[in-house]
Chain A
Amino acid sequence: MALFSKSALEKKANVLAKIRQFFDTQSVLEVQTRSLLDTPVTDVYIDSISLQVNEAIEAKTQYLHTSPELEMKKLLAQGSGDIYQICQVYRDNEQGVQNFNEFTMLEYYRLGFDSHQLMDEVATLINLLGVEGEVCKLSYAQAFEQFAHIDILNSSFATLKTIAKSHQLSTDFDWIEDLQIFLFSALCEPKLAQLPVCFIYDYPAEQSALAKVSAGLARRFELYLLGVEVANGYDELQDAPAYEQIFNRENEKRRRLNKPFLAVDTCFLQQLNQPLPQCAGVAIGIDRLIANIA
C-alpha cells in the first residue's frame, strides 16, 4: 500500500495555497508561534500532550500546543494587527472517526470584526476553497427549537435532565453546559448532517469559553459541514481579568473532575496588561474542511 496518495497531497497543498492567497489579498499577516509551551491549556476537556526535554542539560516538562490561540493573542496585544497561522496542533485522548491526536488548524484574527462579520468572511473563504451548498445560519436557541423542540436558553439544569431522561439519554452531568453540549450532539447534530454549511451562533453564557458575553449570550459561533464541527469562533475577550476569571473557572471544574489542576499562563496574563484590540477570531480544522471539498 502506498504511504500517501499524490492526489490527496496535491489537494491539501492547493487548499493551503488558496488560503494564503486569500489572506494576502486581505492584508492578513501569516505568523508562526511556538508549539512547545511551558503551560498547558486549562480547557476542561482538552488534554495536552506533555513531553520531557533537555534531559541532558536540565530536564523540564513542555506541552505541545492544542491550538495557537494564546500565543497569537500575545501578538495581537502587542499590536500585530490582523494575523493568521496554519499549523499542526496536538491533543491527547482524541482518537475516533473524526478525531485525531494531531491535525492541521487554521487560526485567524480580524481586528474590528464581530462574530457575524467573521462568519461572513469564513463563508466566503470556504466557498473560495470549494465547499459548496447553501449557507444556513441558526442561533443555538433556534437550532434547539427547530431540531429538538427545546427552549434551551430558558431550561434549568433540572428541566434539561428531565428532557434527557425522556429521550433515554444520560443525565449524569455535573454542569448544565455539559448537558447542553451533550443534548446538542445527541439531538441536533444528526439533523445538521443534512445541511451542507451551517453556522450556529449565540451560545448560552455558560458555554462562553473565551468569548464575550452580552445580553446573556456568549458571542461565539461554530461551523458545521454536513453535521461535522469544522470551526469555532469568538468575539474575543480583551483584558487580563476576564481571561483569568475563565482560566480559574476551568481549573475549578478540573478539580471537581479529579483532573490535574493546571498553572495559569501568567506570562499570557502579563502580556494582556495591554488589552487585546477589539477583534474576532476563529479556528478551522483544515482536514475536516478538505473532506468537504470535492
Chain B
Amino acid sequence: MATYATSQFKNGLKLMLDGNPCAIISNEIRKPGKGQASNRVKLKDLITGKTLEKTFKSGESVEAADVMELDMQYLYNDGNEWNFMDPNNFDQFVINDSKMDGVRGYLVEQDRCVVTLWNDNPISVTPPNHVILEVVDTDPGLKGDSAGTGGKPATMNTGVVVQVPLFIGIGEKVKVDTRTNEYTGRA
C-alpha cells in the first residue's frame, strides 16, 4: 500500500479518506505553543464532490489514492452509459450515467475531456472549460438588443439551459463556459 507522509503533502495530491479518494486543496502546518505540529488540510472528495477539512498529526502517514487523470475523447452515450476513448492507445472506458450529474449538458461528441480513474475505474469526467453548443430552443429575439442588456434562457442541443443575449436565435452556435454555465460569445 503506497502512503504519503504529511511532509509530502501538496495541493493536488490524492489521498484515501473514509474509503473515498480525495484531492488536497490546501495544506497548512500549525504548531501550537505547547504541542506537536499538525497539518490542517482541506480536501475534495472525488466521489461526492464535497469539500472536507481534516487535521493530521505531522509525521503521520496516509494511504495514497491510486487516482489518474487522463485526457480522453468523448464518443457517445446510449442513455445508461457514456463511452470515452484514450486517444493514445484507443482503450475505451464506460462511465455509468449516475456519475455524470452536472456534466451531461457539456459533452459534445469528439470533444476532449479529462476522465478521472480510481483503481483504473472511471469516477468522474471534467468537460473542457469552454464548449460550443447549438441552440435548439429559445424565444424569438428582438432586433436592436445587444449582450449586456439582460438575456433569455436557451436550451442547447445537449439539453443544458444557458442564459443567452436576446439576439441569439435557434440554430445558432454559442460558446459556453462549463465552469459557470455562462454564455461567452457566438461560436
Q: How far is the CA of A177 from the CA of B34 in the complex (A)?
A: 10
Asked if residues B33 and A170 are in contact (CB atoms below 8 Å), the reply is: no
Interface assignment of B10: CB less than 8 Å from any CB of chain A:
no
Tell which of B55-63, B122-130, B175-183 binds the partner: B55-63
What's the tally of chain A residues with a CB closer than 8 Å to chain B? 29
Q: How far is the CA of A207 from the CA of B32 in the complex (A)?
A: 12
Complex partner residue of A181 from B36, B53, B56, B60, CB under 8 angstroms = B36
Asked if residues A94 and B31 are in contact (CB atoms below 8 Å), the reply is: yes
Asked if residues B55 and A207 are in contact (CB atoms below 8 Å), the reply is: no
Q: How far is the CA of A96 from the CA of B31 in the complex (A)?
A: 8
Q: Using a CB-CB cutoff of 8 Å, which residues 48-72 of chain B contact chain A? A: 53-57, 60
Interface assignment of B144: CB less than 8 Å from any CB of chain A:
no
Q: How far is the CA of A85 from the CA of B134 in the complex (A)?
A: 71
Q: How far is the CA of A43 from the CA of B32 in the complex (A)?
A: 12
Q: How far is the CB of B65 from chain A (nearest CB, A)?
A: 15
Asked if residues B31 and A172 are in contact (CB atoms below 8 Å), the reply is: no
Asked if residues A178 and B53 are in contact (CB atoms below 8 Å), the reply is: no
Interface assignment of A238: CB less than 8 Å from any CB of chain B:
no
Contact with B along A63-106 (1 / 0, CB 8 A): 00000000000000000000000000000001111110000000
A–B complex contacts, Cβ < 8 Å, 9 sampled: A45-B35, A45-B36, A96-B31, A170-B57, A177-B35, A178-B36, A182-B57, A184-B32, A185-B32
Asked if residues B36 and A172 are in contact (CB atoms below 8 Å), the reply is: no
Q: What is the total of A-B residue contacts with beta carbons within 8 Å?
A: 68
Asked if residues B29 and A182 are in contact (CB atoms below 8 Å), the reply is: no
Q: How far is the CA of A177 from the CA of B17 in the complex (A)?
A: 26
Q: How far is the CA of A94 from the CA of B18 in the complex (A)?
A: 30
In the complex where A182-B38, A186-B38 touch, is A168 in contact with B18 (Cβ < 8 A)?
A: yes
Interface assignment of A39: CB less than 8 Å from any CB of chain B:
no
What's the tally of chain B residues with a CB closer than 8 Å to chain A? 20
Q: How far is the CA of A173 from the CA of B36 in the complex (A)?
A: 10
User: What is the interface of chain B mostly: helix, strand, loop, or mixed?
Assistant: strand
Complex partner residue of A209 from B30, B34, B38, B55, CB under 8 angstroms = B34
Q: Which of B17, B18, B32, B60 has the most CB of A within 10 A?
A: B32
Q: Using a CB-CB cutoff of 8 Å, which residues 1-59 of chain B contact chain A? A: 17-18, 28-38, 40, 53-57
Complex partner residue of A185 from B17, B18, B55, B60, CB under 8 angstroms = B55
In the complex where A178-B35, A178-B36 touch, is A185 in contact with B30 (Cβ < 8 A)?
A: yes
In the complex where A168-B17, A186-B38 touch, is A99 in contact with B31 (Cβ < 8 A)?
A: yes
Chain B residues with CB below 8 A from A96, complex form: 28-31, 37
Complex partner residue of B34 from A95, A170, A207, CB under 8 angstroms = A207
- Residues of B at under 8 Å CB distance from A? 17-18, 28-38, 40, 53-57, 60
Q: How far is the CA of A173 from the CA of B17 in the complex (A)?
A: 20
Q: How far is the CA of A175 from the CA of B34 in the complex (A)?
A: 13
Asked if residues B30 and A99 are in contact (CB atoms below 8 Å), the reply is: yes
Q: How far is the CA of A134 from the CA of B28 in the complex (A)?
A: 27
Chain A residues with CB below 8 A from B28, complex form: 96-98
Q: Using a CB-CB cutoff of 8 Å, which residues 23-48 of chain A contact chain B? A: 43, 45-46
Q: How far is the CA of A222 from the CA of B33 in the complex (A)?
A: 10
Contact with B along A216-229 (1 / 0, CB 8 A): 00000010000001
Q: How far is the CA of A192 from the CA of B116 in the complex (A)?
A: 36
In the complex where A168-B17, A168-B18, A190-B53 touch, is A98 in contact with B34 (Cβ < 8 A)?
A: no
Asked if residues B35 and A185 are in contact (CB atoms below 8 Å), the reply is: yes
Contact with B along A192-226 (1 / 0, CB 8 A): 00000000000000010100000000000010000
Chain B residues with CB below 8 A from A209, complex form: 34
Asked if residues B29 and A97 are in contact (CB atoms below 8 Å), the reply is: yes
In the complex where A169-B55, A172-B57, A190-B53 touch, is A181 in contact with B34 (Cβ < 8 A)?
A: yes
Chain A residues with CB below 8 A from B29, complex form: 95-97, 99
Interface assignment of A232: CB less than 8 Å from any CB of chain B:
yes
Asked if residues A181 and B32 are in contact (CB atoms below 8 Å), the reply is: yes
**A96-B28, A207-B34, A232-B34 are known contacts; what are 20 more A-B pairs with Cβ within 8 Å?**
A43-B34, A45-B35, A45-B36, A95-B29, A96-B31, A97-B29, A97-B30, A98-B30, A168-B17, A168-B54, A169-B54, A170-B60, A173-B57, A182-B35, A182-B38, A182-B57, A185-B55, A222-B33, A229-B32, A232-B33
